[in-house]
Amino acid sequence: MEIEDITLKKIKDNIKKTDFYDAYVKLLIHENNKISDEELKLLFKLSLLFLNFGDQNLKKLGYRIILNYTLIYNDYKPLFDISINLGYIPISKFIEENHLDTSRIENSFFNSFLSSYQDNYKEKNIYLSHGQKKLIKFSNETENNLVLIAPTSYGKSEIIIDKVFKNIKKTICIIVPSKALLAQTKRRLLEHKLANKISRIVTHPEMYKGTEKRFVAVLTQERLLRLLQKNSNLKFDLVLIDEAHNLMKKDNRATLLSQVLLILYKRNEKTLLNFFSPFIADPENLKIPYANYDIEYERNLESIKIENYFVCNLFDQDSRMYMYDQFFNKFLKISDIFFLNEIDILNFYSAKKNIVYLNKPKHIEDFALELSNIKNETKLINEVKNNISDFLHPEYNLLRCIEKGVVYHHGSMPEIVRLYVEETFSSNKNLQFIVTSSTLLEGVNIPAEKIFLLTTKIGRAGFSKSEFKNLTGRICRFRELFGKETGNLRMLMPQIYIIKSKYEWESANPRNFLENKARIDLKMEDEVDNLLLEENIDKLSNEQLEKLHEKLEYLENIEPDTVEVDVEYVKSRIAKLCYKNNVVEFDIKLNERTLVKNLSNKKMTIVNDSLSLINLIYEVFIKDINFLDKKGKDFVDGNRNFKRIEHESAQKFYSKFLDWRCSSASYKEMIGYFISYWKNLPFEKRGHVFVGKTWGEQKRNDTDTKALYINLNIKTESQKINLAIVRIKEEQDFVDYSLMKFIEILNDLGMINKDFYEKLKYCSSDKRIITLMKNGFSLELAKCIINDEYSDLINIDVSNDQIKIHEAIIERMETNMENKILIFEIKYHIHY
């Protein structure tokens, strides 16, 4: 075997039988007192061999050995030399500044030369790795469609922002997967030193007037589709797609994203598409075969961080902690303690900042409360508690957790409170644990040293290899790793704990999970489930071909002549509006006749109250509508939630909910309304209150397949309040993402009173509040700053939906003792 042909795969079985492997294991599990000098020499010799002549995996193994040695023996010279050689400049510079004799460096020509060499990698007061610098150069110099692939914390967000300012004279759209990322991206744009050069940032479809020559749009795919539908001539020069791996998923949002990209390309074939993702195995998978664009790509293969994986099965006789060595696929015992529960493990292994992952919001809150029950009270967090208490309610479970150093974070929390929790956890050293779900996967940046997975499920399925890699990349971020105050090279080896807990599915095997997701020689493959990305349609089943045709037909009815495919276009205005508003709850074409018939029975109607509106939605979009596909199954997941409006009790509830919305009710007021509404229900109806699958505990009758209800009669007042908080968020999402589509259609058909429509959409008919909400402000903040107290610091142009806010408003809000959550939020909207 030639020395250049050495690979981990070829030698690992043989190497397990050598003295090297015994020494390697001792180093790995920190039995350094048992390692002889001869063994250390052997480790060094082979690590250098692997680093210089081995394949990529052997190079990682060699680097891991040097890294372990450095952290165990506090001897930083080997890691300094290796990091210089590998181009890991942030490491070498950190060692130079914190662990080497600075006088020796200053007086040595060679070390002075090295220090100067490292300064070539300095940018914006931070040191980049060779790989990071290469990514930036690629992004700056490539003038074609591109894909940029790099691990979490490698600066993709900064590259996106810089890309905007390098193309500031063009029309630019940044597509983000969530409203939270929308707010964060807007904030990053405003924090840039050249922010004053942006003529306009559009974050809502109705902010665009059609007269703008250049602007920056930051939109989800849903908002972008609405913008394109309202402006048939709108084109973009540059489109930046963040978290681009979402394009390959199977869900409706992935389909919509690919449809939007096809519309953009159809309108302007010169549109440059830039895709950004932490993991994509084959960039060619991002090409949509119905658009003829090529892509160039740059992938970062650096492994600055080497993960340490640990596993414990609390339901096994052997509930001790084991380390998983991903290089040799071995489990190594590191503890003789038999752990009894999840709390014991966290108490024993937790760091100053920890992430605890769970899949369901209910499990997240339950475990956060359980964890907080055994922790001591923390200090200096009364202000945080008071802010959340005043914003929501003093009985909110999160407050009980915060006072014990625990916070939780999931999709059923109010958006701004979730952002505030992220910021508070990041900035407050007294908060030790954040218990969270997959909401952490998309762009959430928080400091944490360790992550504990108490389940390996994400949604209805298990983690894919790429999802697992993305989640584990959320700890030990470069900002903390190399920060002046938080810097610690031990974070080069992030610790990931896989715990089979009471929240895990019964058949789960944590060891098998690690072998299938973390083994170093696993081939990373994209899971391309979006049929619109499938180039070879010959391999599709008849059912898949039928679904693909439905998606193409849907696209053509949204934007004719986008793809070359024979389709049947709908003819009625109501069906066209259903396509325009992305109605996916039922087959539009199949139900076109019924829609036309239902509408004709109500064509003279103009509604101006909530109950009439809900009834009209039922009469037009639910009555006699077929919600099944051709095989008799639900046409789409979730359509039953919308179909519930056929029931009189649901109609009454949603009419009440829309009334609260129209009255500009704050979150705190909405909680009170919910509690009052439940209290006034008849006793027998309080025994079966619908809360959905996330919070459901019982079935209404024997025919139900899922537990979607709770018995309010056995709930404490505090439990009701916490249920109200999560249900408000979920019902708001239902209105925004489901009901509002049908309200828009009825409004376009002239069937809703104008003032009533604005109250439905913006929770107010006040033009100033509407303008602020179009610009991304929450209702609570909008109501706060239209007060005369701030009139000299804010200019609201309602005719152009533009605002200008002086940064002094922050100081005045603090003087006026406004809730700190609102002060935190306004910083997302000001360049200061």
Segment 212-243, tens digit of pLDDT = 888 899 999 999 999 998 898 999 999 999 99
This prediction's pTM: 0.92
Q: Which has the closest alpha carbon to 257: 298, 283, 288? A: 288
CB atoms within 10 A of CB 684: 8
Cα 33 to Cα 72: distance, rounded to the nearest angstrom? 10
CB 768 within 8 A of CB 798: yes
Longest dimension (CA), the chain: 92
Give the CATH number of domain 130-299: 3.40.50.300
CB 369 within 8 A of CB 397: yes
Residues 6+ apart with CB under 8 A from 218: 173, 174, 176, 182, 185, 186, 189, 201, 202, 203
Give the CATH number of domain 308-517: 3.40.50.300
Strand ranges (E), 278-421: 296-299, 308-313, 322-325, 330-333, 354-357, 406-409
* Residue found by looking up tokens 């039988």 in the block: 17
The enclosing H or E element of 551 equals helix 542-558
Within 13 Å and on the Cβ side, how many CA atoms surround 289?
Answer: 12
Q: What is the pLDDT of residue 679?
A: 92
Tell whether the torsion through CA atoms of 423, 425, 427 and 428 is positive or negative.
positive
Cα 107 to Cα 320: distance, rounded to the nearest angstrom? 51
Residues 6+ apart with CB under 8 A from 21: 15, 328
CB 106 within 8 A of CB 112: yes
CB atoms within 10 A of CB 633: 9
- Residue 355's SS3 state is strand
Residues 6+ apart with CB under 8 A from 323: 28, 29, 308, 309, 310, 311, 331, 332, 333, 334
Q: What is the pLDDT of residue 431?
A: 92
Q: What is the pLDDT of residue 327?
A: 94
Beta bridge partners of 435: 356, 408
- Residue 675's SS3 state is helix
Q: What is the pLDDT of residue 78?
A: 93
Beta strand pairing status for 802-805 and 308-313?
Answer: unpaired
Q: Which has the closest alpha carbon to 139: 106, 178, 166, 115? A: 166
* Residue found by looking up tokens 């929790």 in the block: 421
CB 162 within 8 A of CB 185: no
Low-confidence ranges of the chain (pLDDT < 70): 1-5, 102-117, 119, 379-380, 441-444, 637-639, 832
Cα 744 to Cα 381: distance, rounded to the nearest angstrom? 44
* 33 DSSP 8-state letter: G
3-class SS string, 700-745: CCCCCCCCCEECHHHCCHHHHHHHHHHHHHHHHHHHHHHHHHHHHH
Same fold? 130-299, 308-517? yes
Q: What is the pLDDT of residue 206?
A: 84
CB atoms within 10 A of CB 331: 15
- Domain spans of the chain, in order of start: 3-120, 130-299, 308-517, 575-756, 766-826
Q: What is the pLDDT of residue 23?
A: 93
**Type of residue found at 74:** N
Q: Which has the closest alpha carbon to 193: 171, 212, 165? A: 165
Instruction: Report the residue count for the chain.
Output: 832
Beta strand pairing status for 122-123 and 126-127?
Answer: antiparallel
Cα 238 to Cα 174: distance, rounded to the nearest angstrom? 9
CB 613 within 8 A of CB 645: no
Q: What is the pLDDT of residue 1?
A: 43
Q: What is the pLDDT of residues 297-341, one digit of tens each?
A: 999 888 899 999 999 999 999 999 999 999 999 999 999 999 999
Q: What is the pLDDT of residues 635-677, one digit of tens each?
A: 776 667 888 899 998 999 999 999 999 999 999 999 999 999 9
CB 90 within 8 A of CB 129: yes
CB 766 within 8 A of CB 784: no
Within 13 Å and on the Cβ side, how many CA atoms surround 455?
Answer: 23
Q: What is the pLDDT of residue 3?
A: 54
